[in-house]
Amino acid sequence: MNYNPQWTMDPGPAGVEIMSQGRVFGSGNGNGGWVTSRLRQYGWHPSSLRTYDTLEYDDWKKIHDKVQQIYTQRLVAVGDLMSAGLTVPLENPLGTTIFVWQDASDMEDAHLGMAPQDRGLADAIEYGTKYLPLPLVYKRISLDVRQLESSRRNGQGLDVSLVAAATRKVAEKIEEILVVGTGTTPFAKGGGTIYGYKDFTYRNTGSLTTNWDESGAAPVDNVVAMKQAAIDARRYGPYSLYVPTNYETPLDEDYDSTKVGTVRERLLKISGINSIKVIDKLTADNVILVSLDEETVQMITGFEPQVVEWDSGGGFYKHFIVFAMMVPWLKADQENRSGVVHYS
């Protein structure tokens, strides 16, 4: 079975029927107004569409716990943003398809004087409007009601392996989008484009002096240069360093045969480097340094991965979507300065 998540601005196809508290609603049967009123009543949160018609409270709790467990394991770079408070929550995520913001030109230096009310010293700041699409990343799965009831009678409880697999794919896609982008052709809609660290137009780029598995000194020289690039762009950290899986083992080798300490430990002694993490979505010999500040990057969070359901086949099949709205917002000022540095 193909578990690859898909991109869409709408998680459900036309005419899908969803059972909720004995009511059938969907986009093709005239009862869509009930959905709207229920979502509005509960703050437009998709979990308000969960039902207890087929799945019971304990089933939903089991699903919820599994979703939480899986997606927190897979969000590494995204987790850094969330831990640093670099998120922008949306009040009405399902009703927001485009995020709009303005960047501003730089100001002159502050003035020193006895009369701060002097209007002649006021800056004329220029603003530019930019846009970011807010799609959903999701994966759909189905359960046979007969199999579900049979497992209950046998005392096995709800099998959440499919939910776990779908959640893992959704979380991996969210992580991939932040680190490497949405693909060869970046996802664009409504006048805006989603970028990741590796394909961001205004990232600072450079070349590794040599592959890091060949020399212990090379990673230090490269990271010092990457940090300087961020400083030149007026982004002063703290910094997180992301490396591909082929650098995992070399980082744990001795930095110098005559001294005690690994390459990883030596890198962490560079001022401002707070963490070094392996990202399996990074292709070999690509290294990324990010200044974790809100002028460099934030995560637009409509909602974290969760599950909703609907019926088909006269109620014999239960369909589920594991989906989320978590979109990276990478920034550069009007001089195209960015706190993202990419060496390869």
| C-alpha span between 138 and 305 (Å, rounded) | 9
Q: Is 299 helix (H, G, I), strand (E, B) or coil?
A: strand
* Torsional class of 272: left (φ above 0), alpha (ψ -120 to 50), beta (otherwise): left
Percent residues over pLDDT 70 in the chain: 64
- For the entire predicted model, the pTM comes to 0.80
Tens of pLDDT, residue by residue over 205-230, are 999 988 787 666 788 999 999 999 99
pLDDT band at 59 (very low <50, low <70, confident <90, very high): low
Domains with residue ranges and CATH for the chain: 6-97+130-194+297-330 (3.30.2400.20), 204-290+335-343 (3.30.2320.10)
**Average of per-residue pLDDT across 64-87:** 83
Give the other-Cβ count within 10 Å of 107's Cβ. 10
| 131 contacts: CB under 8 Å, gap ≥ 6 | 98, 99, 100, 190, 191, 192
Cα dihedral angle (184, 333, 331, 271), rounded to 10 degrees? 110
Confidence of residue 170 (pLDDT cuts 50, 70, 90): confident
